[in-house]
Amino acid sequence: VVPERVRQSVALSWDGRSLRLLDQTLLPAEERWIEPRDAAGTAAAIRTLSVRGAPLIGIAAAYGMAMEIAADPTPQGVERAWRTLRTARPTAVNLGHAVDRVRDAALTAAPDDIAAAARSEAEAVHAEEDAASAAIAVAGADLLEGARRALTLCNTGALAAGGSGSALAVLLELHGREPDLEVLVCETRPLLQGARLTVWELARAGVRHSLIVDSAAAGLLARREADAVIVGCDRVAANGDVANKVGTYGLALAAREAGVPFVVAGPASTLDPSVASGDQIAIEERGADEVRTVGGTALTLAGTSVRNPAFDVTPAALVSALVTERGVVHAPSAATLASLLGDGRRSEGGAGVSRSSQGSEDRLR
């Protein structure tokens, strides 16, 4: 039987019934795919970071819902799938958005259509994230036009999204226009998404890059060794405060001090108008062994007390621009974000919101 609807991303594939995920915990040493069969299996893959990155965990969770609901197409099955997945990780809002969408679609469908409605909604989430990546890449590259050196954190590319990603997608688009582009990649302790994943993507794309330890970033920015910092986001509050991979706030402070633009890129699904400001965003704290060990080797004394927040919050005042598929928000604030969210397509020209390709006055440099 030929699968009805195949949707393929770099790290996720869906054939209409079953889900395959590239196990990102093993990259770059090994490219192994795993096949969660239900909501619990998908939630486990999200918790362990086999699948990660705000947009991609939303897509994976949507398909986890679809699989669970296909096996039990009842309102009880829908609720069970939703409960299992919604809290798999707390910070990236994309996960909650995606599972709420699939639940709502399933619960408003006729009884015989519950499974099909869940599946269609999950596929719509995937398609929308895919399209968002493409638009973000172009808008961000327009904004950064002329930049030759950029610094980034974590992994925000195709491994983190349905399409080409957010911040890293911008850099790949920029590389297409400026082949001399050079990227400084923060290794991103403790799980090394920069060293393991962003380097993997940049090498495959033929983009010049250098890996740096996270603590080198501030000094390199002070020496103006980057023309811009660009990062992704996991949740943007109504006032423009940005939760993203731990270390983002420090980069933003260093960039401000050095006079280097600090740009955040992410799909509209990462905006959370229900949260007034960043101090209300739940910050995931992960296990101590992620810090105490690397690759199973102890780095410190066994039992050492650890704090391991996976994310931090950067105040909107430190953000030069927020790039979304709906446009670029310069100096994000409650007013400019409300304008962006008010009506996606007609936001162009709203207060502080622009299509970055409008003209050079919209560029950062």
State which of positions 235-254 bind ligand MRU (CB under 6 A).
244-245
Closest CA to 276 of 310, 244, 316: 316
163 binding ligand MRU? (CB under 6 A): no
The one-character DSSP state at 90 is S
Pairing of strands 149-152, 228-231: parallel
272 binding ligand MRU? (CB under 6 A): no
Which one of 115-123, 152-160, 219-227, 340-348 is the stretch in contact with ligand MRU (CB under 6 A)? 152-160
Which one of 97-105, 120-128, 172-180, 229-237 is the stretch in contact with ligand MRU (CB under 6 A)? 229-237
Backbone angles phi, psi at 361, to 5 degrees: -65, -20
- Judged by CB under 6 A, the residue of 36, 41, 53, 352 near ligand MRU is 53
Q: Among 234, 241, 312, 362, which one carries the catalytic annotation?
A: 234
Closer CB to ligand MRU, 91 or 339, in the complex: 91
| Residue nearest ligand MRU (C-beta atom) | 232
Residue with tokens 């953000």: 319
Residue with tokens 């090994």: 30
Closest CA to 247 of 203, 308, 199: 308
Which one of 227-235, 256-264, 330-338, 349-357 is the stretch in contact with ligand MRU (CB under 6 A)? 227-235
CB of 94 to ligand MRU, least distance (A): 8
Closest CA to 118 of 154, 158, 164, 67: 67
350 binding ligand MRU? (CB under 6 A): no
Task: Determine the residue type at 302.
Answer: A
Cα separation, 21 vs 8, in Å, equals 10
Backbone angles phi, psi at 15, to 5 degrees: -110, 15
CA 341 distance to own-chain centroid: 18
Report the SS3 class of residue 244. Answer: strand
52 binding ligand MRU? (CB under 6 A): yes
CB of 155 to ligand MRU, least distance (A): 6
The 171-210 contact track toward ligand MRU, x by CB under 6 A, reads ----------------------x-----------------
Sign of torsion, CA 287 289 293 299? positive
92 binding ligand MRU? (CB under 6 A): yes
Could you list the residues that contact ligand MRU (CB under 6 A)? 49, 52-55, 92, 154, 156, 160-161, 165-166, 193, 232-234, 244-245, 310
Positions marked active-site? 234
